Amino acid sequence: MEILFQICLVISSFLSFSHCLDNGLALSPPMGWLAWQRFRCNTDCVNDPKHCISERLFMEMADLLVSEGYAKAGYNLISLDDCWLDKERGSDGRLKPDPFRFPSGIPALADYIHSRGLRFGIYEDYGNYTCAGYPGILNNMKLDAETFAEWQVDYVKLDGCYSFPSQMDKGYPEFGYFLNRTGRSMMYSCSWPFYQLVTKMEPDYEAISKTCNLWRNFEDIQDSWQSVTAIIDYYGDNQDTLIPLAGPGHWNDPDMLIIGNFGLSYEQSRAQMCMWAIMASPLLMSVDLRTIRPEFKAILLNTEIIAVNQDPLGVQGRRVYKKQGIEIWTKPVLPKSGKKYSWAVVVLNRRVDGTPSQVTVPLRELGLDSEDGYHARELNEHKDIGIILPDQAIQVDVNPSGVVMLKCTIIRVPPFSP
């Protein structure tokens, strides 16, 4: 009964949410590649030219997004993060890149990325300085918005270091206003709620979701399973607040995918991919695409899991069961039959006792109650399970710190006609 109540909350939260950011962008969770988690603020291009923050790095990643099939799978954004700037503005007051690391300039980099059929993103900060100490946008918001439009930017990530969280309710919408005034469509990624939560303020999520296409509300992800599970816990523990906010045009952002780096095992990497998919999270990779191992690349390119994330309903999944290290998360997806939906289901094993856990997934208790049944399929292994009726259950073996992800597609029986 408790699980059924949770499922009803998923549907009612989705149906009751009506307003959205009306810029026509991010109608599904954004997908792409960001530099920060993997490459941080490495500016030493003399001793480490391969890994430093430079135009070469972003051009190489753009080429690999296309040549290695990531763009075809939906990863269509390449975005700068902190440390691309020069330490001082130009004599005209405009932002400028570091001249040694970005000798061609930002317009040329944007052109290069656009020529690959990709979108170009940029990073800035609402405060006096970025988190790494480069010029921020404070007192220059109109000029910087116009500069980004002239540079043909498609995505703006605005951090919140060196600023007052109490001023963000005014400042983030103001910069969004100037972005919109340029006439160029730019996705707007905000860190607004995170900085307010850190200072014990209550974010105005209604205003945030009307201003930003996506927003961070938890700490930066680190390259560890502990960091991933802390984010999962935050989203599960606060789901009644967060789920109603998500939908086409406006998304909660739990931060980057760290799959293919150093801190996650193969099972844990699968788990992050499946959890970010069912939470309708932006899928923003931060990995060296030049050296990623094939098994981790395959996780990132799993089109069946990506399809769950990109489902047009745009519903953020809900944790409906948590006991003895096992969690079950569900998300309504298309197709539907009448008023009944298909469902994605993730079974997450948080246990570390060295052996797979056998978990029974009861369909009707999870809200899968169409009497015509469902076609069940496991998405990591691309394996058909078959037709399952609502009073039946699916039994799965879930590896420690791993997942099983199911897509239960509703069976649509045509109406009887004599």
Q: Which residues are known catalytic residues?
A: 159, 220
Exposure class string for 385-395: b at 16+ Cβ within 10 A, else e:
beebebeeebe
The alpha-carbon radius of gyration of the chain (Å, integer) is 22
Q: Which of 288, 365, 327, 388 is nearest to 36 (CA)?
A: 288
> Which bin fits 38, alpha (ψ -120 to 50), beta or left (φ > 0)?
alpha
Looking up tokens 């938890």 gives 218
CB contact at 8 A, 356 and 331: no
CB-count burial class (<10 Å; 0-12, 13-18, 19+) for 58: buried
CB neighbours (10 Å) of residue 407?
A: 21
Cα 90 to its chain centre, rounded Å, is 34
The 10 Å Cβ neighbour count of residue 19 is: 11
d(CA 305, CA 10): 20
User: Are β-strands 326-337 and 318-323 bridged in parallel, bridged antiparallel, or unpaired?
Assistant: antiparallel
Burial of 354 (0-12, 13-18, 19+ CB in 10 A): exposed
DSSP states of 226-263: HHHHHHHHHHHHTHHHHGGG-BTTBEEE---B-TTSSS
> CA 39, CA 95: separation in Å to the nearest integer?
22
Coil vs helix vs strand at 135: strand
